[in-house]
Amino acid sequence: MKIGDKVRFLNAVGGGIVKRFQGKDIVYVEEEDGFETPVLLRECVLELHSFRENDFFEDEALIYPVVTNDVPEREILISAADIQEAMNQKAKVDRPNRKQMMPQQKNTNAIVEVDLHINELLDTTSGMNHTDMLNVQLEKFRETMGQYKSKKGQKIVFIHGKGEGVLRNALIQELKTKYKNCSYQDASFKEYGFGATMITIK
C-alpha cells in the first residue's frame, strides 16, 4: 500500500485515498468529505476494481489481506506477472473457438450467371454503335472466362437475349477458337427462355 492508493475500511463503512503514514501501523485516509481519518493499516484493504490490465508494470504487485471473522491474519503478495498470467488464461477461456465459427464451405462449382445485356454493363450507350456495344459484351465474356478457365466442372450461364442472335454467334465463335476445353449448350429454357447459353469448363 502506498500514498495515492484507494482503500476501503475493513471494519467500517467508507474509505478513500491514502494521504500519509504514521509509524508502521497507522495510515491517514482522506474520505469523500475531505477529512483525513487515521486508521489501523491492517483495517484497510486496497480497492482492486479500478485496476486495468495496462496499469500493471513489472515492478508492481497487489497485497491481499487474508481476513477470518473480521480479524486480519496475514497478507498475500501477488506479483504483476501472476496477475498478467491470470488475465491471459481468462482471455483464452473467454475467446470463442474459431473452428466452431468457421462458415460451412459453399459449393465452389455453383452455376455462375453473367448478364450480357448492354444496359446491365453500361450506364449509358450514348454515342456507341452496335459494334462498340458488341465489343463491350465480348470483353465481359472474355473477362469471365479468364476468371474461371482453370476451374474444371464450373458452369457459367451467359444471358444474352434472343434478338437476332449476333451476340450468341459471337460467343460460340470465341468458344470454338479460344476456349476449346469448354462445352456449350442452350441454358435451361424454364429458367432463361431462349436467350442464354451455358458453358462448362472441362
Q: Record the cell numbers describing residue 47, joined without a space.
A: 480497492
Which amino acid is located at 47 in the chain? E
Count of other CB atoms within 10 angstroms of residue 110: 9
The rounded distance, in Å, linking the Cα atoms of 49 and 91 is 18
* Sequence ranges of the domains in the chain: 6-97, 112-201
Which of 21, 15, 16 lies closest to 3, judged by CA?
21
Residues 91-141: pLDDT tens digits?
665 555 544 444 444 455 688 999 998 888 988 888 889 899 999 999 999
Mean pLDDT of 145-160: 89
Which of 154, 155, 199 lies closest to 179, judged by CA? 199
In the structure grid, which three cell numbers stand for residue 147, read together? 476468371
Q: Tell me the pLDDT band of 15, cut-offs 50, 70 and 90.
A: confident
3-class state of residue 96 by DSSP: coil
Contact predicate 196/186, CB 8 Å: yes
Burial code (b: 16+ CB inside 10 Å, e: under 16) for 61-94 equals ebeebeeeeeebeeeeeeeeeebeeeeeeeeeee
Helix 130-148 / helix 166-178 crossing angle, nearest 10 deg: 40
Average pLDDT (192-198) is 85
Top-ranked range on mean pLDDT: pick from 69-78, 106-115, 158-167: 158-167
Look over the chain and give the mean of its residue pLDDT values, rounded to a whole number.
Answer: 78
Give the pLDDT score at 190: 84
pTM over 0.85: no
Provide the H-helix boundaries in the chain: 80-94, 98-101, 118-121, 130-148, 166-178, 189-192
pLDDT in tens, 30-58: 988 888 888 888 888 877 644 444 444 44
Strand partners, 21: 27
The set of cell numbers assigned to 31 is 474520505
CA distance linking residue 84 with residue 119, whole number of Å? 61
112-201: CATH topology: Ribosomal Protein S8; Chain: A, domain 1 (3.30.1370)
- pLDDT for residue 85 is more than 80: no
Mean pLDDT, residues 52-80 taken together = 56
Cβ burial, residue 30 (10 Å; 0-12/13-18/19+):
middle
